[in-house]
Each structure stands twice: as structure tokens, then as C-alpha cells.
Amino acid sequence: MIPLSVLDLSVVTSGTKPAAALRNSIDLARHVDGLGYVRYWLAEHHNLASVASPAPDVMIGQIAAVTKHIRVGSGGVMLPNHAPLVVAERFKMLEALFPGRIDLGLGRAPGTDGATAYALRSRLDRREGDDFLERLHELILWQTREFPAGHPYNNVVAMPDDTALPPIWLLGSSDYSSELAAQIGMGFAFAHHFASHDAVDAMVHYRNRFQPSAWRATPHAILAVAVIAADTDAEAERLASSFDLNRLRRDRGQYLPLPSVEEALAYPYSDAERTSILRNRSRLFVGSPATVQRKLQLLIEASKPDELMVITAVYDHEARKKSYSLLAEAFGLVKREAA
């Protein structure tokens, strides 16, 4: 069976404040560590009332400290928001503290609106246009130490200098990152849960064009999918009503906390809104474990991922934990000793 991992946004609900959402993330990480999940990645978002964590590196340290087996990483660090040296130092520190358990996933989007992106970068060296490649190159140079002769950074060392950067993954929702990850020989994670680009195309493209490198000898493609599992199809559909209303609001630019099931079921949807919900459901897998597994299997067979990374955003924290438990059982994960 395919390995499973977790992508966590530290989702804020209408009944859960951001501080509690962060604590829920730590609790969920402990839970899935014992279930046999491979990775636990945390995203970077800013100025969103629906997402509690803007600093994945901070959460990575907290979660790695209370888990035993699972790899913990960023899904991802939005590199244009940060000086590459800062990213190198923080993730070398994490790797030194938790050797062999840290992942560095990188994204090229800001993870926020334009004004917030400007505020994040106002003290950085602002460069014209998309500077992701430039920043990625610099980040790699902090590891390889191959700055040109006479470059001032030759006298700067990213500490701790006895620790290498953890494995780097490029994240994407289009064909750009799949092509780049293949060219430079890094791992690739595709965001099926919000991408408009075809997941099969991106995953196959990456695998077919992969060039071995010092980072990876073989390709490794992660497919991130949104899943809501419950004991029955009907219960899963009930839980998914929160997602439906939340996504409808997001499409209107309203990034509000995740609504309760009761609020979502009482909402007076128009015919146009119901059509929009049906369209958004193409990115969400809902149902009993058997139903979800059957739906996912079609995508797995077509895109051939090495790993599935599951994001489950439901109103009730215990229901979220149960969804991951049901998936672990359905996909045959082997339980492990808790930390």
C-alpha cells in the first residue's frame, strides 16, 4: 500500500481560537505518529483568519520534540518571504536537533495578499519580478559553499556548520515546479487539493524528466489530497458541509474561520452556489474508508505518486483525528510506539 503523510494548516474554526488550533496541531501530530504516517508537514500562510500558523519552522521544532518516528517539515516555507541564509540556518538547526527527521519544503508563492507580502519583505533585498530561482540558488550555495571567488558570502558560514540542510522538496500547483524539481533532481509535492493544473500531468512530467543529482538519485513525488473520512458516507458528507461553505466563501475572497456543521447545513444556498460546491468537490475525497480508498485509487493509478499527503479540515478536532485513523487502517499502515 502507498505510504501516507499529513499536511496541516492549523485550521482555525468558528469555535476554536488560533492558539487552540496550534495546540490541536501538536495533538494531531502525536496521534498520527503512532498510526504509522510518514511525514507531518506544516504550511506557511499570513494574514488569514482561517490559518493559525505563519511560521512552520517554529511548529516543526515543537512537533518534532513530542513525536518519535514521523518526519516533520514545511509544506512549505515560502522562500520569497525569507532571506535564504535565515532559512538555511533555521533548518540546519532543526536537522541538528532532530537528525534524519526534518524536511525542507519550499514554495514560490507568498502565501498571503499583496500588502502582507510587502510587509514581510520590506526589509529584504527586493528584486524585480519572480526571484524564486535566485533565492533557491542562494539557499543551495549555503550548503555547497560554491560561491564565486571573491564573493563576500565566502566569509559567511551558515551555522551549525557541522550539519547539512535536510532534504529539499519543491512544492507546486502547476507544471513550473514539477519541471524545476525534475531538472535539479529534488523531491516534488503537488497540491491537488487546490490546483487547477492536472495532477496526473504534473506528476508524470516530473517522473519522466527527473535528472539524478547530489540531492536525490531517484524521483520521489508526493501527491497532496484533501480527504474527509468517517464511519459512513452520510457522516462524512455531514462533516464535509463545513468545507463546502468555507470554500464557497474563499472563492469570494472571504478567508473566515471554518464554520460549524450546523452553520453550514443551515446556510441558504442558491442554485448557483450549489453548482459551485459540486465543482469544488472535484478536489475533495469524502466518504467511508472504503469509499475514499476507491475514489483515491483511480487518481493513484493515473498519477503514480510515491506517497499521499492528506489534509483533513473539519470543524471537530476529534473527528479530524478519527478521519486519519480510519485512513491509516484502510491503507494498512503499521502502528508504532508513541513517544
Cell representation of residue 168: 529539499
User: What is the H or E stretch that residue 40 is in?
Assistant: strand 39-42
Q: Residue 120 in contact with residue 81, Cβ under 8 Å? A: yes
Using DSSP, state whether 121 is helix, strand or coil.
helix
Cα distance between residue 82 and residue 88, in whole Å: 10
How much is the pLDDT for 112? Answer: 80
Q: Residue 227 in contact with residue 310, Cβ under 8 Å? A: yes
Going from N- to C-terminal start, the domains of the chain cover: 4-331
Beta-carbon contacts of residue 276 (< 8 Å; ≥ 6 apart): 248, 251
CATH number for the domain whose boundaries are 4-331: 3.20.20.30
Using DSSP, state whether 39 is helix, strand or coil.
strand
How much is the pLDDT for 123? Answer: 67
Average pLDDT of the residues in 19-43: 98
CA distance between the termini of the chain: 25
What pTM did the predictor assign? 0.95
Average pLDDT of the residues in 131-159: 94
What rounded mean pLDDT belongs to the chain? 94
How much is the pLDDT for 110? Answer: 77
State pLDDT tens for residues 216-265: 999 999 999 999 999 999 999 999 999 999 999 998 889 999 999 999 99
How much is the pLDDT for 91? Answer: 98
Q: Residue 49 in contact with residue 83, Cβ under 8 Å? A: no
- Tell me how far CA of residue 252 lies from CA of 127, 241, 259, in angstroms: 31, 17, 15
